[in-house]
Structure 1
Amino acid sequence: MSEQGPPVPFSSLPLSKTHEATKLNAWGAYGDKDERGFLNRQTDAIVAAAAASEIKTGTRVSLNAALDFQGDRPLFGRQAFKKDVYQKLPRIVHDDTWHFNTQSSSQWDGLRHFGYQQAQRFYNDTTVEDIAGTTERSKAQPNILGVQNLEKHGIVGRGVLVDFARWREQGPGRDIEGAQAFRTFERTPIKLEWLKQILSWQGTQLKFGDILIVRSGYMKAYYALDDSQIAELQAMHPPSLGGVEQSEELLNWIWDNFSCVAADHPSFEQWPTPHDWSCHEVFLAGWGCPIGELFELEELSRTCEKLGRWSFFVTSEATHVPGGVASPPNALAIF
């Protein structure tokens, strides 16, 4: 793989013709048994260059929402975070236990999370039975596609914030009707053309292997909800959410530039998809591209504005849970 670009051009996709309805798959691009997908783009050279170019002041910003930020009323069918702190008498000692859904706060979606729905396949032609551990392949590759693959070398490199919320509220987006029509809890798109305009407005240049982070303003919108609005959202199946548009052009842009994607909203893309495919299918099942969701980006936005730069070094290590589906990101931005 070139340090300067993807392993094959976007026009070559799909690589595997084995199954229909596996839109733009890149199976085999990093090897038939590969379980890291886009994270193969985070080479030692790219990570070292990112550290050298981005770490200047040592300023650090957490990208993690509290595990219990949704309280006892998590949205979209997730389970609430539960914490039990207990004494170990007669010693003056405490232990605690946690129980939570890995999708209920900041998270990386691992490659077991979302497959091609019609083809019923995950990354690199992995089946539900492979993940269940009932096939010969699963014996050869135990815990195939688990989040241990996001933990082993971490998710590390140059992060780029595309601050849609700030651009929409304070920048040229104030004069764009479509941007003003964006609604956090309605299926409305953040268009690719706006993402590119925001990068230009910020003065941010992309480098191959960057970690894309999009701030929609979800956290501010969520904390402004009252009890009745939360109850209404809890009852929605499927939920209706604003997010990044689904388009061939958007997919091409992601393929050409990034090593993973993340955002502050629960789905990265607008949801439900208006097409017969979703970015979740292509990113996770087609390309092995981890998706970060519900990242806490408010302090990051303020820091970028203060320092006048929207790129930084990112270090994130998933929890080491062999066969896990998703994980808290344990993520830091370092300037």
Structure 2
Amino acid sequence: MADSIPKFTDLPIDKNGPHHNAWGLYGKDDELGTLNRLTDDIVKAASSEIQTGVRIGLDWPLDAQKDLPFFGRQAFHKEVYQKPPRIVNDDRWSFNTQSSTQWDGLRHFAYQKEALFYNGVTIDDIHGTNGKEKSNVNGIGAWTKQGIVGRGILLDYHEWCIKQGREHHAFETGNISAADLKQVAKDQGTEIKFGDIMLIRSGYMVAYNKLSRSEIETARAKQPLTFTGLEQSDETMEFLWSNFSAAGGDHPSFEAWPTQKDWSLHEVMLGGWGMPIGELFDLEAVAAHCKKTAKYSFFLSSEPCNVPGGVASPPNALAIF
């Protein structure tokens, strides 16, 4: 299947578009991007990962960051109310879709200089401004037709760093290289297969859970916010492009933040390839199970919320072993 896509060195596909784009690979109206790699055959093969039936949820609680989400996002709010005279409750939820575990959708981040989203969609196409008709194009609802389902792999970078005697500073701008991630996979004994859904345990959740409220407030007030994440480099892009249908991790920015280049991975992955980016995945329980069983691959099932025109969504994700 890997030979069904252009080589990284052949990008951009649309020579009139931004750098490293894959526009038109699956048609000019495509809204699935690299999720097209999750063919029936690849999903069927991934089902062989289910050997014990153990299921582990990957979603952090929606209210995990309480009233202090990073990036100025709105906190989760829940209201439970009675419906007298019956003994019945209903509830209302309101939240920013990126205040806890999330998939970033294709409306989230455009190429900044060109102001273009995946397949050349503009901000006017989305908002119906400057004479354009408002639409649901590139909305995350398109992903719900088949979900994000396939072979998941955990790259436990945090555990690997401990063994290497390396320190990880989650709240400082720092780079996780493609070379290190490949080494993590090798040392774990994890084979990377085309179409995999990669999740990286960076150690962010471990660091976050050690912080007091005042320390979170200090980190949240920092401008710009700083996080360790994937390195912005050709090597990283080639690693992502050549292997995965989606990629995510336990940290809030996925990539090193702020970007160390005049471009970001968000631009290329979301705007260029249509590759979902997962952030704030709770990987602690699944990492413990992987370490115990020495098996770092699993069947992953994720059903984003069916919101036409949505920007992002909780993943509603399960790792099944």
Pairwise same-fold verdict (TM > 0.5): yes
Partners of 1:60 and 1:224 in 2: how far apart?
27
In the alignment, what sits opposite 1:143?
136
> Residue type of the partner of 1:115?
A
For residue 271 of structure 2, give the secondary structure of its aligned residue in structure 1. Answer: helix
User: Does residue 320 of structure 2 align to residue 301 of structure 1?
Assistant: no
* 1:24 correspondence with 2:20: yes
Verify: 1:166 aligned to 2:162, yes or no: no
- 1:47 is paired with a residue of what secondary structure? helix
- Give the match's secondary structure for 2:68: coil
Retained in 1: the 8 A contact 2:2–2:242?
A: no
**Structure-to-structure mapping, 1:202-241, within 5 angstroms:** 202-241=188-227
- Alpha carbons of structure 1 residues 205 and 136: separation in structure 2 relative to 1, 3 Å: farther
Tell me the amino acid that sits aligned with residue 106 of structure 2: L
Q: Which segments of 5 or more consecutive residues in structure 1 lack a partner in the other structure?
A: none
Q: Are residue 92 (structure 1) and residue 87 (structure 2) matched?
A: yes
Deviation at residue 227 of structure 1 after TM alignment? 2.3
Equivalent position of 1:154 in the other structure = 147
- With normalisation by structure 1, the TM-score equals 0.93
Distance in 2 separating the partners of 1:308 and 1:43: 27
Alpha-carbon distance between aligned partners in 2 of 1:326 and 1:215, rounded to the nearest angstrom: 21
State the Cα distance separating 1:238 from its structure 2 match: 2.3
Deviations 1:212-243 (A, max 9, x none): 10001111111111122111122123210001
Contact 2:156/2:287, CA 8 A, preserved across alignment: yes
Alignment check: 8 A CA contact 1:76 1:236 kept:
no
Deviations 1:33-89 (A, max 9, x none): 1110000000001000000x2000000000000000011222220111100000001
Moved more, 213-222 or 88-97: 213-222
1:165–1:216 contact (8 Å) kept in structure 2 = yes
Q: Distance in 2 between matches of 1:42 and 1:137?
A: 33
- Residues 172-187 of structure 1 mapped to structure 2, 5 A cutoff: 173-174=164-165, 179-180=166-167, 182-187=168-173
Aligned equivalent of 2:306: 320
2:104 to 91, 98, 109: 109
Distance (whole Å) between structure 1 residues aligned to residue 91 and residue 197 of structure 2 = 34
Paired residues in the alignment total 321
1: CA distance, partners of 2:145 / 2:183: 35
The aligned residue for residue 128 of structure 2 is: 133
Distance in structure 2 (CA, Å) of the matches to 1:277 and 1:6: 27
The verdict on how the C-alpha distance between 1:137 and 1:306 changes in structure 2, with shifts beyond 3 A counting, is: farther
Q: What root-mean-square deviation, in Å, do the aligned CA atoms of Structure 1 and Structure 2 show?
A: 1.3
Q: How does 1:51-62 map to 2 (within 5 A)?
A: 51=47, 53-62=48-57
Poorly superposed stretches of 4+, deviation over 2 Å: 3-6, 133-139
How far does residue 8 in structure 1 lie from its aligned partner after superposition?
1.1
Distance 2:8 2:141 in 1: 28
What's the secondary structure of 1:300's corresponding residue? helix
**Aligned partners of 1:223, 1:9: CA distance in 2, in Å?**
40
Query: Where in structure 2 are there 5+ consecutive unaligned residues?
Result: none
Task: Give the C-alpha shift of residue 133 in structure 1.
Answer: 3.0
Alignment pair present for 1:283 and 2:281: no
2-structure distance, mates of 1:29, 1:317 = 24
Any conservation in 2 of the 1:61–1:332 contact (CA below 8 Å)?
yes
Q: Distance in 2 between matches of 1:30 and 1:138?
A: 24
Task: Tell me the residue number matched to 1:71.
Answer: 66
The answer as to whether partners of 2:156 and 2:184 remain within 8 angstroms in 1 is yes
SS of the aligned residue for 1:73 comes to: coil
Question: Which of residues 38, 41, 66 in structure 1 aligns to 2:34?
Answer: 38
2:73 partner SS: coil
Give TM-score, length-normalised by structure 2: 0.97
Deviations 1:91-134 (A, max 9, x none): 00000000000010000000000000000000001100011135
Seq. identity, %: 54
